[in-house]
Structure 1
Amino acid sequence: MTVISHQTHALSINPATGEQIGHYPYESAAVQDATLARAAAGYAAWRRTPVEARVERLLALAGALRDNAEAMARMITAEMGKPIAQARGEIEKCAQLCEWYADAGPAMIAPEAAPVAVGKARIEYRPLGPILAVMPWNFPIWQVLRGAVPTLLAGNVYVLKHAPNVMGSAYLLLDAIKRAGFPEGVFEVLNVTPDGVSAAIADPRIAAVTLTGSVRAGIAIGSQAGAALKKCVLELGGSDPFIVLNDADLDEAVKAAVIGRYQNTGQVCAAAKRLIVEQGVVEAFTAKFVEATRALVVGDPTQDQTYIGPMARFDLRDELDGQVQATLAEGASLLLGGGKAEGTGNFYQPTVLADVTDQMTSFKQELFGPVASIITARDARHALELANDSEFGLASTIYTANPALAEQLADELDTGGVFINGYCASDPRVTFGGVKKSGFGRELSHFGVREFCNAQTVWLDRN
């Protein structure tokens, strides 16, 4: 039997079975150079392509995604364990993203008049060049396209370095791009080691860098981009607070908290990880939440009824279990789950921890898996303090029947997004990104289009 090494190949391992389903040799320096050469040549032509023609390609991509939705969804499920219904939803969401930017995007990069006192001036949004994108495995298609679609619309080209365990998804996406008629070099896939990523960042043909990943990866990529004097966008981890106040509709809050915590098997950077509940309703909320969590269907991710599948990587399950056991040793109560599921698959039991305090592991660290931590707040002010007591600042949720109080709390929350009476979601009409150790820069909305643009001043008759 031939043993394939992680050092020489990107490997796809089915987390539901532990079986290897794909291996992709890392590319040599010569192949990387050829890829970047194609991107540079592609950019020279794409930047001069009229916006209307770029829009046509985005609409064609929406069609290509839908035409190949089932194959792409099944690849996602096989490679990282996303339940198939959620994987299908991911592809449809990407198609809608393409259509929305095709409709609303051109106005975002149209010239803007500037009210100068002498002559005439305008702001032009010019592309920067090839953008290197280092992307994660948890949303193998959406995570890529939510950055790529506005980037391509603006006239840049996109060089994707995907996570090693989802390279099958990366190549299916590349095929969809080709089917949509994008010219060569406009979207390239780069399958390289971390050393190859470093070389690409330093390469003068790469204009800027975007990363979605861990804080550790953000520090590495951000420092290398800074050393090369290149702009970067970093979307990193999160330990999002989900605040439930005494006057909240508990049934709605519980429903949202379960989805917000356990969708994608809890492997979402902007998931509701810390459930901060005012003491007047914490007992009732907890009982309802545990009951709803217990009802979730766990199992074969290829089955439509499954809501929680396996975690994507075995090492991450080990890390999550260590965090859970540390929190229990620190005094938290275990209400549900609390360990690895039996069998060969990489399953972790849906877990609910209660009596969690601000000194415990699950409060301080990001838990990237199906584990919820319930924290009791004395009142709304204390809930706000607990919410902000984190090194992360990606998103937050507030459930209350008092709109004025919700707006007041939102004004003081140190997060990139605040969702009132609804769980966190990404939507192209609103911006997405974080503060503190959750990163910087923004994706989606007009911010996502302009992040990698040169806002160029053009001033006529200055004198």
Structure 2
Amino acid sequence: METVAKVSPIKTINPFNNELVKSFDVMTEEQIDSKIALADEAFQKWKNTPKTERAQLLYRVAHIMRVKSVQLANLATLEMGKLVKESRAEVELCAAIFDYYAEHGERFLADQPLETPQGSAFLSYEPIGVLLSIQPWNFPFYQITRSAAPHLMAGNTMLLKHASNVPQCAQIMEDIFTEAGFPKGVYQNLFIPGSKIDSLIADKRIKAVTFTGSEPAGSSIAAAAGKYIKKSTLELGGSDAFVVLDDADVEKAAEAAVRGRMWNAGQVCVSPKRVIVEEAVADLFLEKVKTKFAALKVGNPTDEQTDLAPLSSEKAVEDVIKQVQKAVEQGAKVITGGHRIDRPGAFMEPTILTDIQPGTDAYQEEIFGPVFMFYRVKNEQAAINLANATDFGLGGSVFSSNNERAVQVARKIETGMVYINHVTGIAPELPFGGTKHSGYGREQSPAAIYEFVNAKLIRVTTPDSAY
């Protein structure tokens, strides 16, 4: 008799105490097919819904998120462990992004006239169909929002495959879209394992895929999308350079570096992972960082006074510890931290690694936790060279008291975003995305809404015009 492999349920496990909170059954093949069919059917009407009506529904989503902000924030903290004050900020950011596309989407999607010597011509931006959105757990609402807001405004429909450790966040977002009045099938959540993704991409009814996650997974998804001639956008993380020049305000730079790296317990694609400091201020900077690390309050993420939350899971903290241990084996030094914190939950000490050599694992890879990789360099050019010595290229920061100098350095860093005297941030109107192995495509800003539309040329001439 043929045996059928049992599929594990999708679970909420609180990383603060590692307790199981809730489980969800994985959807059957029949349920998945029904949801794809519903999304495809909904698209046939949604694409013709006036943009003003789409905008009003986005406004409603933003309003509901603000009304439910406490519930949503508590849920994000429960499922993936972030500080509740960070969760509240995430919810407000999401509401602002929905408002942004509701306010500006119709203008972004307006016909674009083109100059031509004969007759007239314009681009018409038209939706392409059902999109598959595959998102990670570290910002469980924001990751959904930055793909859903522009693409639903554009007239596409969406299926979400969220990370398996945040199922309640995934479900409540579908509930919010329903409460806001979105037509049935326009936005749906899928409780499925990652093993189902290739078959979804292969389905003719799904027209494109947007993914945020790891480089290996992104490579696999891009290959599948390419095989079936479907567009994809990828955001695959980064190992962002945080460059401190010798004329920087060291106190402000150190404060920004610590806050940026401890944000979300270090589980942020654009947090300052490689801290590159000119030799003249390196010792002072390092001492200030160590002092600030020592003052961090580790504890319950629901406590407003807590500074450092647990990582998202047992596996997450174990993986980061292994990366630190491997770095030490390959010659790096731990200046402070480097271990789990002796308490229940997925907690890790704030850690500083130095003496990381080219060719070692830590020199190239992303460490997704509260770990600084600290480098001192002789001069500005050495800082630029080191900043570019990675396969990643997502965000980055340059600190200097001379903005003109900082901008010139920023121009030479091979990355998708550079912030001057600030950690890489997020705003609805600013594009988010990278280059090199950090992926391609842009989210947020006007750029996002054009990722999954057909920019159709319409040319108008008189019958007797020359071709």
Instruction: Tell me if 1:40 matches 2:40.
Output: yes
1:110 aligns with 2:118: no
The 8 Å contact of residues 135 and 143 in structure 1, kept in 2 or not, is answered as yes
Aligned to 2:289: 289
Q: Secondary structure at the match of 1:281?
A: helix
2:229 aligns to what?
Answer: 229
Partner of 1:337: 337
Question: How many Å apart are 1:142 and its aligned residue?
Answer: 0.4
Counterparts in 2 of 1:66-81, with a 5 A limit?
66-81=66-81
The more displaced of 396-405 and 52-61 is 396-405
- Residue by residue, what CA displacement relative to the aligned partner does 1:246-274 show, whole Å, maximum 9, x if unpaired? 00011111111112211000000111000
What is the Cα deviation at residue 27 of structure 1?
0.6
SS in 2 for 1:404: helix
- Any conservation in 1 of the 2:164–2:193 contact (CA below 8 Å)? no
Aligned counterpart, 2:127 = 127
Aligned match of 2:249 = 249
Aligned equivalent of 1:414 = 414
**How many Å apart are 1:350 and its aligned residue?**
1.1
Structure 1 residue matching 2:166: 3-state secondary structure:
helix
2:131–2:157 CA contact under 8 A, matched in 1: yes
- Change in CA separation of 1:95 and 1:223 when aligned onto 2, cut-off 3 Å: same
CA contact (8 A) 2:85 2:304 kept: yes
Q: What secondary structure, in the 3-state scheme, does the structure 2 residue paired with 1:352 have?
A: strand
How far did residue 290 of structure 1 move? Answer: 1.1
* TM-score, structure 1 as length reference: 0.97
Take 2:22 and 2:350, find their aligned partners in 1: how far apart are those partners?
29
- Check if 1:150 corresponds to 2:147: no
Aligned 8 A contact 2:57 2:181 in 1: yes
Q: CA RMSD in A?
A: 1.3
CA contact (8 A) 2:128 2:207 kept: yes
Contact 2:96 2:428 in 1 (8 A): no
- What CA distance in whole angstroms lies between the structure 2 residues aligned with 1:399 and 1:152? 38
Aligned to 1:430: 430
On the 8 A contact 1:29/1:196 being kept in 2, the answer is: no
3-state SS of 1:208 partner: strand
Task: For 1:212, give the aligned amino acid.
Answer: T
Counterpart amino acid of residue 145 in structure 2: L
Q: Secondary structure at the match of 1:338?
A: coil
Question: Tell me, what secondary structure is at the counterpart of 1:437?
Answer: helix
Contact 2:394/2:417 (8 A) holds in 1:
yes
Instruction: Provide the C-alpha distance between the structure 1 equivalents of 2:51 and 2:194, rounded to a whole number of angstroms.
Output: 35
Q: Which residue type is aligned with residue 47 of structure 2?
A: R
- Rounded Cα–Cα distance in structure 1 between residues aligned with 2:102 and 2:252: 34
Q: Which amino acid in structure 2 is aligned with residue 278 of structure 1? A: E
Structure 2 residue matching 1:237: 3-state secondary structure: coil
Question: What amino acid maps onto 1:169 in structure 2?
Answer: C
8 A contact 1:267–1:369 mirrored in 2:
yes
2:392 aligned residue: 392
Secondary structure of 2:165's match? helix
Match of 1:439 in 2: 439
What is the one-letter code of the residue matched to 2:303? Q
The 1-side partners of 2:308 and 2:14 are apart by 15
Work out the number of aligned pairs and report it.
Answer: 459
Matching of residues 281-360 of structure 1 within 5 Å: 281-360=281-360
1:376-417 per-position Cα deviation (integer Å, ceiling 9, x unaligned): 111000000000000100011100122232222222111000
Q: Distance in 2 between matches of 1:172 and 1:68?
A: 10
Decide whether the 8 Å contact of 1:54 with 1:153 is kept in 2: yes
- Kept in 2, the 8 Å contact 1:357–1:375? The answer is no
Instruction: State the Cα distance separating 1:282 from its structure 2 match.
Output: 0.2
Deviates more, 1:211-220 or 1:187-196: 187-196
One-letter amino acid of the structure 2 residue matched with residue 332 of structure 1: A
What is the rounded CA distance, in whole Å, between the counterparts of 1:260 and 1:355 in structure 2?
22
Q: CA deviation at 1:103?
A: 1.4
Secondary structure (helix, strand or coil) at the match of 1:255 reads helix
1:171 alignment counterpart: 171
DSSP-derived class of the 1:117 partner: coil
CA distance in 2, matches of 1:57, 1:224: 33
Distance in 1 (alpha carbons) for counterparts of 2:194 and 2:448: 26
1:419 maps to a residue whose letter is Y
Task: Please state how far the C-alpha of 1:334 moved relative to its aligned partner.
Answer: 2.1
Shift of 1:227: 0.6
1:373 aligns with 2:337: no
Does the 8 A contact of 1:300 with 1:309 survive in 2?
A: yes
CA distance in 1 between partners of 2:293 and 2:103 (Å): 39
370-379 vs 331-340, which deviates more? 331-340
Instruction: State the AA in 1 paired with 2:276.
Output: I
Equivalent position amino acid for 2:108 in 1: M
Tell me how far apart the structure 1 counterparts of residues 361 and 199 of structure 2 sit (CA, whole Å).
Answer: 36
| 8 Å Cα contact 1:105/1:153 also seen in 2 | yes
Return the letter of the residue paired with 2:364.
Answer: K
Residue 448 of structure 2 is aligned to residue 448 of structure 1? yes
Aligned to 1:270: 270
Question: Residue 356 of structure 1: CA displacement?
Answer: 3.2
Cα contact 2:274–2:373 (8 A) shared by 1:
yes
Measure, in 2, the Cα distance between the counterparts of 1:295 and 1:361.
Answer: 30
- Any idea what the Cα deviations from partners look like across 1:151-179, whole Å, max 9, x if unmatched? 11111111100000001100111111111
Confirm or deny: 8 A CA contact 1:270 1:394 kept in the other structure.
yes
Partner of 2:17: 17
Once the two structures are overlaid, the 10-residue window that deviates more, 192-201 or 59-68, is 192-201
**CA distance, structure 2, for counterparts of residue 332 and residue 164 of structure 1:** 34
Structure 1 stretches of 5 or more lacking a match? none
Aligned partner of 2:217 in structure 1 is 217
Identity of aligned residues (%): 37
Instruction: List structure 1 segments (4+ residues) > 6 angstroms apart after TM superposition.
Output: none
Distance, in Å, in 2 between the alignment partners of 1:189 and 1:11 is: 15
State the partner residue of 1:82.
82
Match of 2:53 in 1: 53
Q: CA deviation at 1:318?
A: 1.2
Where does residue 457 of structure 1 map in the other structure? 457
Alpha-carbon offset, residue 24 of structure 1: 1.1
Please give the alpha-carbon distance, in whole angstroms, between the structure 2 residues aligned to 1:252 and 1:90.
24
Structure 1 residue identity aligned to 2:201: I
CA deviation profile, 1:408-456 (whole Å, cap 9, x unmatched): 2222111000111111012111111111110111111111100001000
- After TM superposition, the score normalised by the length of structure 2 is 0.96
SS in 2 for 1:280: helix
Q: What is the SS of the residue equivalent to 2:322?
A: helix
Q: Which amino acid aligns with 1:446?
A: P
Deviation at 1:6, TM superposition (A): 8.8
Please state how far the C-alpha of 1:313 moved relative to its aligned partner.
1.8
